[in-house]
Amino acid sequence: GYASAAETVMLTAQTPRTEVRPTLARTPPATGTADVSSTPAGAMVKIDATAVGLTPLRGRTLNVGRHRVEIAAEGYDPYSASVTVKEGQTVRVDAHLRAKVVAAPSPKVAVAPTPPPAPTPDPHVYDENDPALSAKPVKTTGKSAEYPKDAMQLKRGQRASVTCSFVVLESGDVADVQVVESAGESVDNAVVGAYKSWKFTPGTKQGAKVKVRVTRRQTFLGG
C-alpha cells in the first residue's frame, strides 16, 4: 500500500553510524471502471448498496475487486449481479429488466341474497275451523271500516273487497293482522285499523281460552 523509497548515506570513521528515516508515500489503490446499462434505460443503479446514478452509466471508477450491482425501475423486477473489477479494465453490466406481472382482479360474482326463512306457524294458534275447538271466537264490539276519502271512488255497481286474517288472543284482543286480499293500500289500511279495534269473546278448547286465527272480509259497494 506504499511506494518504495531509497536514500543514500555515507559512513566514515568519524561517523560510523547514522539514522535513516525515509517517508513512504501511500500508493493509490488499483482501479478499473464499470459500464452499466439497462433495458429500459433510466433505471436506478446501486453499487455496493450506494446509489450512483441512472442507466446508462459509463466509466464509473471502482477499486479492484468484487462489487455488488443492483438495478431497479418502477414496474419492473429488480436486477442484481456480482462483478469483478480488474486493474485498468472495464467491466460491463447490461440488464434486461422484466416487467412485473400484475394479477388481474378476480371478477365479482353476484350472490343472490338468501331469502328469509318462512315463518313457522305458532303451534298454539288454532284455526277457527279446527274441530278441536270447543267454541269459536265471537265478536263483541267493533265497527266496520269506512271507505277512505283518499281512495279511488267507486262508481255505481263497482265493489272493492279486503280480506284479512288475524289472531284473536286469549284476552279477546286482535293481533297479527295480515291482508290476504287487497283493494289498494289506502283501503287496506282502513280495514286493518278497524279490525285491530275489534273485541271478541275468545275461543276455547276443553274450557281453556286459546288463540284462534280467523279470516274476515269487508266489501265496499259503489254508488
- Give the chain as a 3 state SS string: CECCCCCCCCCCCCCCCCCCCCCCCECCCCEEEEEEEEECCCCEEEECCEEEEECCEEEEEEECEEEEEEEECCCECCEEEEEEECCCCEEEEEEECCECCCCCCCCCCCCCCCCCCCCCCCCCEEECCCCCCCECCEEEECCCCCCCCCCCCCCCCCEEEEEEEEEECCCCCEEEEEEEECCCHHHHHHHHHHHHCCEEECEEECCEEEEEEEEEEEEEECC
Q: Which residue has the higher pLDDT, 218 or 119?
A: 218
- At residue 121, the pLDDT reads 62
Mean pLDDT of the chain: 88
Q: Is the pLDDT of residue 86 over 90?
A: yes
**In the chain, domain spans:** 31-96, 125-221
Please compute Rg for the chain using Cα positions. 52
- At residue 120, the pLDDT reads 59
On the 0-12 / 13-18 / 19+ scale of CB atoms within 10 A, 196 is middle
CATH superfamily of 31-96: Immunoglobulins (2.60.40.10)
Instruction: Round to whole Å and give the CA distance between 223 and 220.
Output: 10
Mean pLDDT of 172-179: 96
Q: Is the pLDDT of residue 222 over 90?
A: no
Instruction: Round to whole Å and give the CA distance between 147 and 156.
Output: 14
pLDDT class of 157 with cuts at 50, 70, 90 = confident
* Nearest partner of 43 among 75, 81, 66, 67, judged by Cα: 75
**In this prediction, what percent of the chain has a pLDDT beyond 70?**
93
Instruction: Round to whole Å and give the CA distance between 174 and 122.
Output: 16
- At residue 108, the pLDDT reads 72
- At residue 119, the pLDDT reads 53
CATH match of 125-221 with 3.30.2420.10: yes
Q: Is 0.85 topped by the overall pTM?
A: no
Instruction: Round to whole Å and give the CA distance between 178 and 193.
Output: 11
Mean pLDDT of 15-27: 75
pLDDT class of 141 with cuts at 50, 70, 90 = very high
- At residue 117, the pLDDT reads 65
**In this prediction, what percent of the chain has a pLDDT beyond 90?**
65
Q: Is the pLDDT of residue 199 over 80?
A: yes
Q: Which residue has the higher pLDDT, 70 or 118?
A: 70
Mean pLDDT of 125-145: 94
Mean pLDDT of 72-87: 92
Instruction: Round to whole Å and give the CA distance between 101 and 66.
Output: 32
Q: Is the pLDDT of residue 125 over 90?
A: yes
Q: Is the pLDDT of residue 182 over 80?
A: yes
Q: Is the pLDDT of residue 197 over 70?
A: yes
